């Protein structure tokens, strides 16, 4: 377990999925109100419209399935990440815990157990 130091700085580059990085991320084309027309798990083709921001379409540049999408009616700003498309096209993956999320959760639990004060008897007990 790493007990000192810092995490790597955020690179701004989305992790590649099936070799695709930036293209899978959906960003607001302008400031305004998001009107989503698709849902998580829906299949998309390149050029598909997933919704609009104040009338300007949010367009997928790749095919796959909608893996994430901000809620309908959300106020967004230009360039804000509002969703992503999974190019693997497997709908079931949209409803699973990813390997990355599972690894982060495991690390948090491990740290809590390792750093638990010696006199603590039950983490869930009220103080």
Whether residue 57 is predicted with pLDDT greater than 80 in this model: the reply is yes
Q: Which residue has the higher pLDDT, 77 or 19?
A: 77
pLDDT digits (tens, 9 = 90+) for 73-96: 999 999 999 999 999 999 999 999
Contacts of 108 (CB under 8 A, 6+ apart): none
All domains of the chain, ordered by start, with CATH?
A: 22-115 (2.40.50.100)
Token representation of residue 8: 């790597």
Query: CA-CA distance, 14 to 22, in Å (whole number)?
Result: 6
């Amino acid at each position: 377990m790493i007990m000192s130091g810092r995490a790597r700085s955020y690179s701004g580059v989305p992790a590649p999925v099936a070799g695709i990085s930036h293209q899978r991320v959906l960003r607001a084309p302008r400031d305004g109100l998001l009107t989503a027309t698709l849902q998580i798990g829906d299949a998309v083709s390149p050029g598909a419209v997933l919704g609009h921001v104040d009338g300007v379409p949010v367009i997928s540049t790749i095919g796959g399935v909608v893996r994430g999408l901000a809620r309908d009616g959300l106020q967004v700003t230009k360039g804000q990440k509002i969703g992503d498309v999974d190019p693997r096209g497997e709908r079931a993956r949209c409803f699973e815990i990813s390997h990355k999320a599972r690894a982060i959760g495991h690390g948090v639990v491990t740290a809590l157990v390792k750093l638990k004060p010696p006199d603590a008897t039950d983490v869930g007990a009220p103080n």
